[in-house]
Amino acid sequence: MKRAVRQAKNGSGLEKMIRRLVKRHKGPLMLISREALRQQFERFRRHLPNVAPYYAIKANPDPEIIKAFVKLGAGFDVASANEMNLVLDLGADPKKIIFANTIKSSEDIAFAYKKKVKFMTFDNEPELYKIARHCPGARVLVRIKVDNHGSTVELSLKFGADPDQAIFLLKKAKSLGLRPAGVAFHVGSQCVNVDNYLQALDVSSVIFNEAKKIGLQLDTLDIGGGFPIRHFDDDDHLTFKDIARQVRKKMRRLFDKQTNFIAEPGRFFAGPAGTLVTQVVGRTFRNNRNYYYLNDGVYGDFSGIVFDHCRYEFKTMRRGQKFISTLAGPTCDSFDTIALNVDLPELDVGNVVYVKNIGAYSSASAVPGFNGFPPARVLLV
């Protein structure tokens, strides 16, 4: 009951702010809450106090978000020279950046070396030759393939060495003059299956122990990201707190106190901070239901429907009886359909439809200007 009352109060405050901002600004808006960014960072540090967070900026590379995490003391996970340059220009410490794309161009590796970013992942032997040539002496983590069962986005199809190849690859790294530092894994994005983490920790521990036997002293484990958030108010899946409690216990049992743990939260940091505000620009009645056309769609900030397999909770500031409705984007493309069956009250042109917890993999993957429609304007609030 208390939670319902709190949500109602929060919703009321949010809707007042939305009304004010819609009057002031045109077009769809992506509202990013500074306070939510801070809260998510502190929540991570509270429940995984021995794990250093490296924000995966692919989730949302907005400069103001990056500056907020620089101020909070986060590290950064980057996948390209462009991402690296962005965080460096905004004040990130090169020593707190991990180049976490296991397949990097030679040019990007050379750029990392020039910028003194010498911490990176790999998952194959040819990559090691590139790193050794263009970033000599780099600290490297071998990324291994682990189970992604129960994760919304599968990330082991494209990346990760088979665990039984890890020792060979780490030895190869050392022979090439690199510094084999440890192991990295990723359990898949929006993971609600804690067994993925626990099994990955077991596998990583075996690699650490085998490395020690042959004289390789590994000191770093990267547990990746994938920590889940709630997209709907009534989501009841496993929470980050639940996962963190079991992960902490497992890490204490399997690894010595000298091990450095890092992680790459992206969605977990940026997702809850974002609220997308759209407006109805057209309506009709077809297929025995209301069709509402919004000024943002799947080519814009609802791109997570396609690229992130995400489902969203659509809210309005209208009250009253609800009807099965369809939401579509503004482009001249039938693919630009946001939701076929959603319960909504009767809406008119100009009414607001908004979505919470959409700060990650939305504006970041939007196509700029398809059909001439720009993505949402980002506002920090």
76 touches 97 (CB < 8 A): yes
Q: Side chain identity at 248, as an amino acid letter?
A: R
The long-range contacts involving 134-138, CB below 8 angstroms and separated by at least 24 positions, are: 134/106, 134/109, 134/110, 135/109, 135/110, 136/177, 136/178, 137/177, 137/178, 137/179, 138/112, 138/113, 138/178, 138/179
Per the residue annotation, which of 135, 191, 310, 332 is the catalytic one? 332
Please, what sign has the CA dihedral across residues 83, 89, 92, 94? positive
| Angle formed by the axes of helices 63-72 and 34-47, nearest 10° | 40
How many Cα atoms sit within 13 Å of 84 on the Cβ side? 26
Taking the C-alpha atoms of residue 150 and residue 188, their distance in angstroms, rounded to an integer, is 8
292 touches 35 (CB < 8 A): no
Go through 1-29 and write b for each residue having 16 or more CB atoms within 10 A of its CB, e for each that does not: eeeeeeeeeeeeebeeebeeebeeeeebb
135 in active site: no
**∠ CA 103-104-110, rounded to 5°:** 155
Task: State the DSSP code for 92.
Answer: -
The continuous run of DSSP H or E covering 21 comes out as: helix 2-24
292 touches 328 (CB < 8 A): yes
In this structure, what token pair is assigned to residue 6? 């709190």
Taking the C-alpha atoms of residue 211 and residue 222, their distance in angstroms, rounded to an integer, is 16
Residues belonging to the active site:
332
